[in-house]
Homo-oligomer: A and B are copies of this chain.
């Protein structure tokens, strides 16, 4: 994690507010010395946590300077009090830092339906402001973890028209990860000078092929948020859409969100394997995506992969009920490069495939023989530990 560097002008601090229980840092502050251009993406769940509702309003300004974030409590299903608490978290942060309240965003992750322990959070916000600069990006990554087993942070340096630009990101994932960004928080910081429209486009493109293409348990959380802040302190020539500079920036961002997505899935609750499902030659991209998600969300497929069992029949069944156009007699399936199904029928290579499945990364390729549609989805296997973790999460 030491290789994770911060872009110019971003400072961090963390604190222990004992939100769920004492013994760890569970509150973090991300601060930009200069007001930044901000874009965001939020959960598609109709039930949204208070901080998500608040951030969705504030992001309309396209500006921001700080993010206050906690783990241990999602501040979801907490009614009017939940919104008051979210507002107070931003108000306190703004006051202590001397910012406009609208420039502060708030994110929460953890248990749903429990009031925020504001009496423990309030005094820590002043402490956070005083300690800015004493924590690194990796400390923020650690503070936002819930059932995650490792910190997720990366950074990348790129050149924009000769000027060095840094992009850094932290995220948390683990359970409840589904399309449209389940219990996932991701904060991306860059010193790039980029306009709002370009930042929006780059973020949307990146998220749609990464965070929105991962699934752990098919559940979608009330709190998912991706925020990107660009403070311009690299002083590069402004990045605009439809330019070479934009392509460089967007490509770097996409690569980073894909890496983070892999980290999230690898760290799926109880997961032992990363599974990539590629569906190609579908009638269209939409069909390919639907089919890939059906396979990725199939508990039977996920348990079979866990058991090193090349049970391709379960993949066929999932393709069949996904609702897409499919012709059994045109369908091929490959497991880690081995052709298991040819024109809808088994090739008899199950034993060899069982051996190949023992690797930590499993690639399922489905060729439907119907057109040019394609999509990739990332998921993980389903294990006894997933059940254990989620049966005991609150106890």
- Are B391 and A317 in contact, CB atoms less than 8 angstroms apart? no
- Are A47 and B346 in contact, CB atoms less than 8 angstroms apart? no
Report the Cα distance A338→B309, complex, angstroms.
43
Interface string of A358-395 (1 = CB under 8 A from B): 00000000000000000000000011101110111111
Q: Tell me, yes or no, whether A114 is within 8 Å of chain B by CB.
A: yes
- Are B45 and A317 in contact, CB atoms less than 8 angstroms apart? yes
- Contact among B79, B316, B383, B386 with A344 in the assembled complex (CB-CB below 8 Å): B79
Count how many chain A residues have C-beta atoms less than 8 Å from C-beta atoms of the other chain: 64
Report the Cα distance A353→B391, complex, angstroms.
15
In residues 175-200 of chain A, which contact B (Cβ within 8 Å)?
175-176, 178
Assess A112 versus B387: contact at CB under 8 Å? Given A79-B329, A297-B218, A311-B393: no
Task: List chain B residues, Cβ under 8 A from A346.
Answer: 77, 113-114
Q: Tell me, yes or no, whether A4 is within 8 Å of chain B by CB.
A: no
Report the Cα distance A298→B222, complex, angstroms.
14
- Are A299 and B341 in contact, CB atoms less than 8 angstroms apart? no
Question: Max chain B CB contacts within 10 Å: which of A46, A111, A312, A323?
Answer: A46
Can you tell how many copies of this chain the complex includes? Answer: 2
- Measured CB to CB, the closest approach of chain B to A36, in angstroms, equals 30
Task: List chain B residues, Cβ under 8 A from A312.
Answer: 77, 112-113
Q: Tell me, yes or no, whether A132 is within 8 Å of chain B by CB.
A: no
In residues 149-178 of chain A, which contact B (Cβ within 8 Å)?
175-176, 178
Task: List chain B residues, Cβ under 8 A from A47.
Answer: 316-317, 319-321, 326, 328
Q: Tell me, yes or no, whether A220 is within 8 Å of chain B by CB.
A: yes
Of the listed stretches A22-30, A97-105, A300-308, chain B binds A300-308
- Measured CB to CB, the closest approach of chain B to A333, in angstroms, equals 10
- Measured CB to CB, the closest approach of chain B to A391, in angstroms, equals 3
In residues 330-352 of chain A, which contact B (Cβ within 8 Å)?
341, 343-346
- Measured CB to CB, the closest approach of chain B to A13, in angstroms, equals 29
In residues 28-60 of chain A, which contact B (Cβ within 8 Å)?
44-48
- Measured CB to CB, the closest approach of chain B to A12, in angstroms, equals 29
Q: Tell me, yes or no, whether A9 is within 8 Å of chain B by CB.
A: no
CB<8 Å pairs between A and B, sample of 17? A46-B319, A46-B320, A46-B326, A47-B319, A47-B326, A77-B316, A176-B300, A218-B218, A219-B299, A219-B314, A219-B317, A220-B321, A299-B299, A307-B391, A309-B392, A311-B394, A384-B384
Q: Please name 7 further chain A to chain B contacts, defined as beta carbons within 8 Å, in addition to the given A111-B313, A309-B392, sorted by A numbering.
A: A176-B300, A219-B314, A222-B313, A299-B390, A307-B395, A309-B394, A384-B388
A interface, CB within 8 angstroms of B: 44-48, 74, 76-79, 111-114, 175-176, 178, 217-222, 297-300, 303-304, 306-307, 309, 311-314, 316-321, 323-324, 326, 328-329, 341, 343-346, 382-384, 386-388, 390-395
